[in-house]
Amino acid sequence: MTNRKLYGWTTLMLLAIVASVSFASAASLSISNVNFPTSVNHDGGSFQVSFDITNNGAADPAVAFTLQMSQGTATLTMPTVPIGDGTTTPVTISVSGTVRYPAYQQGNLAGSIIADDQGGGSPKTIPFIVSVVNKPSIKISKITDLTQSRNGSIEIENNGNIDWSDVQLTSSGDFSVLFYDAGGNSITSLSLDAGDKETVTVSGVGLDNLGFGGGSTTITVTADDGTTKATFGLDVSGSFCKFGEVGGDLDIRNIKIYNDGQGKKDSWDLLDSLRIEVEIENTGNDKIKDIFVEMGLFDSDGKNVVSDLEFDNSDEEQADLGSLNDGDRDTITFTFQVPADFEDGTYDLTIKAYSDDVGEDEQCVDTSTDFSENDKYDSIDVNRQSDSGKYIAFDNVQFTPTEGTCGDSITMTLDAYNIGDEDQDQVRINLKNTELGINSFVEIRNGMDQGDKESVMFNFVIPADATDKFYNLELSADYDYRSGTYRLSSDTDTIAQYRIIGCGTTPGGSTGERIAIISADLVSDTVVAGGKVVVKATITNLKTQRTAFAVDALGYQSWATLDDISPRVVNLDAGQSAEVTFTFTIDEGIQGEESFNIEVKDGLGGSETREIALNVESASGSGTGVFNFGDNAFLWVIGAVNVILVVLIIVVAVRVARR
């Protein structure tokens, strides 16, 4: 064998060995059972891809996987895996990976996963195409609160994968809203590409009309297609201050509630009397003028019903505190009664203080740490009476005249209320006083439902033997009327006091000191038999303290009838005077001088009298009545002598003239 042949064979053998080795190391991969979704949501974030991969002969090759995208954006998470058992026996394994993609994409996610046997020279391509589902959407969220004194802000986001070029902004509710962009420009619409978001400032219109109950509005954003919408409820907390709490220089503190009735400070019964004390402090550095303090009572609908209470002061729920220097404080008091027809329920009691000088929009406070509910109010329960023995209550008891004396006819009026929690078909109101011989009743037959009021009137005459003092008149009620019988009655009587004076006193008084001055004038132009005559007396208090005087007329019965004395009782401070009018009807056939006595009693044993004389003309006479000088007959004699002297002088003068 020649060297050339030997070289050839050696070369062929080496090539065969190399070829053999190369064939043995080729992986010869194959792919089957490929799985991936046909579609995904734009914001799904990821999807799974799985398939089987077979090594058809290589010994333990390692296969790596990469992603090539032809449409859309995505990444692949799939680890490198070995395939084989150390021999050339074909091996199949299942592999899976995660394709991750960002939101807001449209169209398809398309590409290929490359399975690379890492140098084996036989990579495999696994194509996929997944459609992205279109999702038109929009979202609103709150950033800052809207208040009566401060704008709020919201964020509008296109959280779908459709671009919007004309998103409309509207509002509806208890108040309206104006919208502003980041530059402070007023807007009614905006443009948002998929995934974009924008901050919008919201400003309430008409918030000062919301009152203490607050209010809400609904903001709606509508996308270009007219059907894609989002809504957001915007609540504004109410404030007793018209423009919300502003200024910060006034402070409400030391709120104290006193219930002088049957209920408690936070649980009021009908007809309870209450006092609320409030301290206001100027915490600023300057004097604050014209400070007003106002009380509010809001029902469950946010309506202020404080004016339905019965206040003692003329300004009712508002008090003028005046001015406060910096660091000064002052206290005001609200006093009121819960009327019997007040609606039961739960209420919010609050207070505000503001300066009428600079305006409520500049200086107003309506919160206090003394309030139990969010520093804004106290919760108050107003209750109807559940005790069956207290269903009927009395109020507004009045007497005419307000004080009386023996023989007076007295009219008593009152309001009866059903403050119970049951309706009544029929009610009987009773009035009793054994000393005055009073035992009367009035029946209310037209029914008294819960909260109803009926006005009732009694009339009685003060007996001639009554004594001077306060009398307790007893009021009670019978109710729950069935089959002709009242089944329930008041547990306790309601006492109404009435004062009687001027009965059973001794002329001259117990001390002998004068108690009053009595003077009189004739009001009538004529004093004629059968006609009326009016005399006006002036009573002046000579005592050193305020005194009630009973006024009467005596000694007229033989010539006249007393029609009226008005008033019968006068209350006078020391040195004070009052007028009392006497009206008489003169009997027929009376002529000449008649008289009567004006009597004044103080109810403590003291009395004064003054005689008044009248000259009564006959019905056919043309003269006028002559008002007498009282019981001083000497003055009458002097008057008569003077008249005679005047006549004689006239006669003598006439005779001299004739000569």
Query: What's the CATH fold of domain 139-236?
Result: Immunoglobulin-like (2.60.40)
Average pLDDT over residues 280-302: 94
Asked if 562 and 551 count as a contact pair (C-beta separation under 8 A), the reply is: no
Report pLDDT for 60.
64
Query: What's the CATH fold of domain 250-383?
Result: Immunoglobulin-like (2.60.40)
Q: How far apart are CA 13 and CA 177, in angstroms?
A: 92
Q: Tell which residue, 114, 142, 136, 130, has the closest CA to residue 201.
A: 142
Q: What does the block give as tokens for 470?
A: 């306060």
**pLDDT tens-digit map of 141-176:** 999 988 877 899 999 999 999 999 999 999 999 899
Q: Write a three-state SS string for 420-477.
A: ECCCECCEEEEEEECCCCEEEEEEECCCECCCCEEEEEEEEECCCCCCCEEEEEEEEE
72-86, 101-115, 382-396, 518-532: which is most confident: 101-115
CA 537 to centroid of chain Cα atoms: 52
Q: How far apart are CA 34 and CA 292, in angstroms?
A: 82
Residue with tokens 């054994």, as numbered in its chain: 434
By CB atoms closer than 10 A (0-12, 13-18, 19+), residue 316 is: middle
Asked if 240 and 252 count as a contact pair (C-beta separation under 8 A), the reply is: no
- Mean pLDDT, rounded, of the chain: 86
User: CB-based contacts of 220: which residues, under 8 Å, 6+ apart?
Assistant: 169, 170, 171, 172, 229, 230, 231
Report pLDDT for 504.
59
**pLDDT tens-digit map of 436-478:** 999 999 999 999 998 899 999 999 999 988 988 899 999 999 9
Same fold yes or no, 139-236 and 516-628: yes
User: CB-based contacts of 505: which residues, under 8 Å, 6+ apart?
Assistant: 468, 601, 602, 603, 604, 605, 606, 607
Exposure b/e, 422-436, CB count within 10 A at least 16 = b: eebebbbbbbbbeeb
Asked if 320 and 333 count as a contact pair (C-beta separation under 8 A), the reply is: no
Q: Model-level pTM?
A: 0.55
Q: How far apart are CA 109 and CA 131, in angstroms?
A: 6
Give SS3 for 86. Answer: coil
5 versus 208: the higher-pLDDT residue is: 208
Report pLDDT for 8.
39
Q: Work out the pLDDT band at 627, boundaries 50, 70, 90.
A: very low
Q: Pairing relation of β-strands 164-173 and 152-157?
A: unpaired
Residue type, 423: D
- Identify the CATH number of the domain defined by range 24-133: 2.60.40.10
Residue type, 222: T
Give SS3 for 169. Answer: strand
61 versus 174: the higher-pLDDT residue is: 174
Residue with tokens 């009694």, as numbered in its chain: 458
Q: Work out the pLDDT band at 122, boundaries 50, 70, 90.
A: confident
Strand locations in 237-365, DSSP E? Answer: 250-259, 267-269, 273-282, 288-298, 310-311, 318-324, 329-337, 345-355, 364-365
- How many CB atoms are closer than 10 A to CB 249? 19
- CA 459 to each of CA 280, 399, 501: distance values in angstroms, whole numbers, following the listed order: 49, 10, 18
pLDDT at 482 over 80: yes
Q: What percent of the chain has pLDDT over 90?
A: 64
Which of the 8 DSSP states describes residue 658?
A: H
Of 2.30.130.10, 3.90.650.10, 2.60.40.10, 3.30.300.30, the CATH number of 516-628 is 2.60.40.10
Q: Tell which residue, 295, 297, 307, 382, has the closest CA to residue 340.
A: 382
Of 2.60.40.10, 1.20.1530.20, 3.40.50.300, 1.10.260.40, the CATH number of 394-500 is 2.60.40.10
Q: How far apart are CA 357 and CA 355, in angstroms?
A: 5
Q: How far apart are CA 220 and CA 138, in angstroms?
A: 10
By CB atoms closer than 10 A (0-12, 13-18, 19+), residue 110 is: middle
Q: Break the chain into its structural domains and give their ranges.
A: 24-133, 139-236, 250-383, 394-500, 516-628, 634-659
